[in-house]
Chains A and B, each alone.
Chain A
Amino acid sequence: MQPIKQFDVEDTPETRKEGLFITYKGKEYQYNEDVINFLCLGIDNSTPVEQANEIKGQGLADAIILVSINVESGKIKILAVPRDTYVPVKMYNDQGQFLGEKNMQLTLQYYYGKTAKDSCELMVNAVSNLLFKVPIQRYCAINLEAIPILNDAIGGVDVQVLGDVEVGGKPYHAGDTLHLQGKMAEDYIRDRNTDQFASSMGRLERQKQYMTNYFATAMAQVKNDLTLPVSIYQSLQGNMYTNISVEDITYLAPEMLDVTLTAEDMSMIPGEVTQPDEHEAYMVNSEQLKELVVNFFYTEVL
């Protein structure tokens, strides 16, 4: 794989002007080449992801988050993609033969990969298509086993509970303070009352909160121990499938020492929850998404 810094957009005619350009509402915009996009997937499948390589049925992508790191300014932005986002999902059979596509929940796209690599690449493609072909340079899929490992590697994470949630078999309510350790972290970010309409949205809020707090705690730790990102990376082996290399991490970690992550840096794909059949679907507001993508990834050419 190429070193991360040399990531280029493909040599298509749009990029002939040395860069990726778009026209939107009569104005020209350029993709910010300093931004590297990481697609982070939380996979609902407790088998180790590397073993799952050999197994049909990769599981579902329950958490879908695009992390954009600007290596020049050191700024991070996070775009949450609801798992039920309705997109054209490409379907494959067990032999990896293409069966066609159908508008379905994005989470299902992960299932149609023959290997974890296929699944990740299908997700990258689907999310890139959703975001009007924004380039996604790296991906990382972790399974549920990875959550306590990640959580405990930085000594646990404190949260102030946002709404009713069950953690470790006990109910908690808005305003309660919790120090999440081990499996508690998984409970906190996964608990969902499926009887309740749009319950995955409340969960998404908890996931955003957990990420913000995790990030703040992790940054404080990394300042004391620069090798922490690499050791976390290594501790995830077996529960993670990624095309991020150790070299990428050692390149990025020092760039990000002063980065802060606040709620304002986090956005969600605009849209609304509907229920076309027994499953919920998240219908994207395409015009609002265009605005968001232009503001998020592009700079106007003056």
Chain B
Amino acid sequence: MDYENPEHRRGRRSKSSGKTGLVVAIIAIVVILAGAGIGFFVHTSNQEKKAAAAEKAKKADPEETQESYEKLKEQVAVDADDPMFRKIDFAAAQEMNPDVYAWIWIPGTNIDYPILQSETEDDAYYLNHTIEKKEGLPGTIYTEKYNGKEFSSPVTVVYGHNMKNGSMFADLHKYEDRAFFDANPYVYVYMPEKTLKYHIFAATPFDDRYLLGSYNFSDQMEFEEYLDELRSTINGNVNMDVNVSLQTGILTLSTCIADSANERFLVNATLEQ
């Protein structure tokens, strides 16, 4: 159809030109809109892909995060025969995230991670943000501001997720086994100026109370009460030969229990004298 030349159309088919012209116009509009639509859609789709890719870069992935940790470990940890003499290059680790302030290693487990504490965000930030500040699992191994960064509180609670891929604090559950509990009794905490050696005395399921808010641990009797509760577990492992006092303190490592939302699994250690 010769609708490229409206002059011609109007001249020759003046009678029907109104009706036909309307149809043509409608088709033209539809075609143009459709084309534009497709174009728009294609354009949007590309935008979304880009946005999604950008979003994905922000979202955490447990496997990728674990790879980052492996790389970080290679880069910053210098092993020694005696774990007490292992060195961590904190300056290098802090380049990844300045909130890294300590490092935890439990020989015999996969637990060998930096410990973070946020300066600016809520304490729970690292429950749901990785060391690369990506949102989601596996979070980080972290402590709360209430405990400070010196590991000098009567009770310091360190949190970590119970990851299905065995990363973060999943290996704490190995302490449910008595033989493992007996064979792997030490926890090392590295800090820029010193290394602390802790002796594990109780590994037990515990209710999900917010520990630091439920006890006043600087009160000797409340500290003793918590200690008694940890050691009087019927469903956990305890080493009564480890002396625990307010002076040696308690390091509580806390993680989830897969099918028991109201409970936590706690591995508890005290400073080796």
A contact residues vs B (CB 8 Å cutoff): 12-14, 22-24, 88, 90, 98, 100-103, 125, 128-130, 132-133, 286, 290, 293-294
Contact = CB atoms under 8 A, between A and B. Distances in A.
Contacts of A102: 243
Given A100-B245, A125-B228, A132 B207 contact: no
A175 to B, nearest CB: 41
B181 to A, nearest CB: 12
A199 B188 CA distance: 45
A22 B207 CA distance: 11
Given A13-B207, A13-B209, A133-B229, A24 B240 contact: no
Contacts of A100: 245
Interface in B232-265: 232-235, 238, 240-241, 243, 245, 262
B235 A129 contact: no
B232 A88 contact: no
B231 interface: yes
Interface residues of B, number: 20
B154 interface: no
A22 B235 contact: yes
B15 to A, nearest CB: 89
B208 interface: yes
A286 B233 CA distance: 11
Interface of B: 205, 207-209, 220-221, 224, 228-229, 231-235, 238, 240-241, 243, 245, 262
A95 B38 CA distance: 88
Contacts of A88: 231, 240
Nearest to A283: B240
Nearest to B262: A13
Contacts of A125: 228
Given A100-B245, A103-B241, A293 B208 contact: no
A58 to B, nearest CB: 20
B233 A132 contact: yes
A100 B234 CA distance: 24
A281 B243 CA distance: 18
B211 to A, nearest CB: 12
Contacts of B209: 13
B219 to A, nearest CB: 11
Given A12-B207, A133-B229, A290-B234, 17 more contacts: A13-B208, A23-B205, A23-B235, A24-B235, A88-B240, A90-B224, A98-B220, A100-B245, A101-B224, A101-B243, A101-B245, A102-B243, A125-B228, A132-B232, A132-B233, A132-B234, A133-B232
Nearest to B224: A90
Contacts of B231: 88, 129
Contacts of A24: 234-235
Nearest to A294: B234
A22 B234 contact: yes
B235 to A, nearest CB: 5
B221 A98 contact: yes
Contact of B232 (A13, A23, A90, A129): A129
A286 B205 contact: no
Contact of B207 (A14, A90, A130): A14
A294 B234 CA distance: 9
Task: Give 5 closest A-B pairs by Cβ, nearest first.
Answer: A13-B207, A132-B234, A133-B232, A129-B232, A129-B228
A85 to B, nearest CB: 12
A59 to B, nearest CB: 24
A242 B95 CA distance: 64
17 contacts: A22-B235, A23-B235, A24-B234, A88-B240, A98-B220, A98-B224, A100-B245, A101-B245, A103-B240, A125-B228, A129-B228, A129-B232, A132-B234, A133-B228, A133-B229, A133-B232, A294-B234
Nearest to B225: A125
A294 B232 CA distance: 13
A22 B235 CA distance: 8
Contacts of B241: 103
Nearest to A12: B207
Contacts of B228: 125, 129, 133
Contacts of A128: 232
A103 B207 CA distance: 27
B114 to A, nearest CB: 32
Contacts of A12: 207
Contacts of A129: 228, 231-232
A13 B207 CA distance: 7
B208, B228, B234, B238, most chain A CB atoms within 10 A: B234
Contact of A286 (B221, B238, B245, B262): B238
